[in-house]
Amino acid sequence: MADLPPLREVIARHGLSASKALGQNFLFDEQLLDRIAAIPGDLAGRKVLEVGPGPGGLTRALLRAGAEVTAIEMDSRCLPALAELGEAFPGKLKVIQGDALKLDHAEIMGGEPFAVLSNLPYNVGTALFVRWLGGENWPPLWTSLTLMFQQEVAQRIAATPDNSAYGRLAVLAQWRSEAKMAMKVHRSAFTPPPKVMSAIVHVEPRDMPDGVSARVLERLTEAAFGQRRKMLRQSLKGVPGAVEALEQVGIDPQRRAETLSVGDFVALARVLSA
Ligand SMILES: C[S@@+](CC[C@H](N)C(=O)[O-])C[C@H]1O[C@@H](n2cnc3c(N)ncnc32)[C@H](O)[C@@H]1O
Contacts of 253 (CB under 8 A, 6+ apart): 231, 232, 233, 243, 246, 247
> What total of structural domains would you count in the chain?
2
CATH code of 236's domain: 1.10.8.100
Domain that holds residue 268: 214-273
Tell whether 67 and 156 lie within a shared domain: yes
Mutating to test ligand 1, I would choose from 34, 51, 82, 120 the residue with most ligand atoms within 8 A of its C-beta, which is 51
One-letter identity of residue 258:
E
Tell whether 150 and 33 lie within a shared domain: yes
Residue 196's pLDDT is what? 95
Tell whether 133 and 256 lie within a shared domain: no
Does the C-beta of 185 come closer than 6 Å to ligand 1? no
Nearest C-alpha neighbor of 25 from the set 62, 58, 48: 58
Tell whether 182 and 102 lie within a shared domain: yes
Tell whether 36 and 165 lie within a shared domain: yes
Tell whether 42 and 96 lie within a shared domain: yes
The β-bridge partners of 142 are 114
Whether residue 116 lies inside any domain: the answer is yes
Does the C-beta of 27 come closer than 6 Å to ligand 1? yes
Residue 52's pLDDT is what? 96
Does the C-beta of 54 come closer than 6 Å to ligand 1? yes
- pLDDT (tens digit, 0 to 9) for every residue of the chain, 274 residues total? 568 999 999 999 999 998 988 889 999 999 999 999 999 999 999 999 999 999 999 999 999 999 999 999 999 999 999 999 999 999 999 999 999 999 999 999 999 999 999 998 777 899 999 999 999 999 999 999 999 999 999 999 999 998 999 999 999 999 999 999 999 999 999 999 999 999 999 999 999 999 999 999 999 999 999 998 999 999 999 999 999 999 999 999 999 999 999 999 999 999 999 8
The β-bridge partners of 73 are 97
Contacts of 31 (CB under 8 A, 6+ apart): none
Whether residue 1 lies inside any domain: the answer is no
- CA angle, corner 135, sides to 265 and 112, nearest 5? 130
Residue 71's pLDDT is what? 98
Whether residue 2 lies inside any domain: the answer is no
Residue 165's pLDDT is what? 96
Residue 121's pLDDT is what? 77
Tell whether 155 and 232 lie within a shared domain: no
Which whole-number Å values give the CA distances from 179 to 89, 169, 171, 264, in the listed order?
Answer: 32, 11, 10, 18
What is the spatial distance between Cα 188 and Cα 184, in angstroms, rounded to a whole number? 12
Tell whether 51 and 107 lie within a shared domain: yes
Tell whether 189 and 245 lie within a shared domain: no
Residue 159's pLDDT is what? 97
Does the C-beta of 124 come closer than 6 Å to ligand 1? yes
CATH code of 184's domain: 3.40.50.150
Strands 68-73 and 47-51: parallel
Atom of ligand 1 nearest to the CA of 122: 1
Residue 23's pLDDT is what? 87
One-letter identity of residue 2:
A
What distance in angstroms lies between residue 54's CA and the mean position of ligand 1's atoms? 5
Does the C-beta of 23 come closer than 6 Å to ligand 1? yes
Tell whether 150 and 251 lie within a shared domain: no
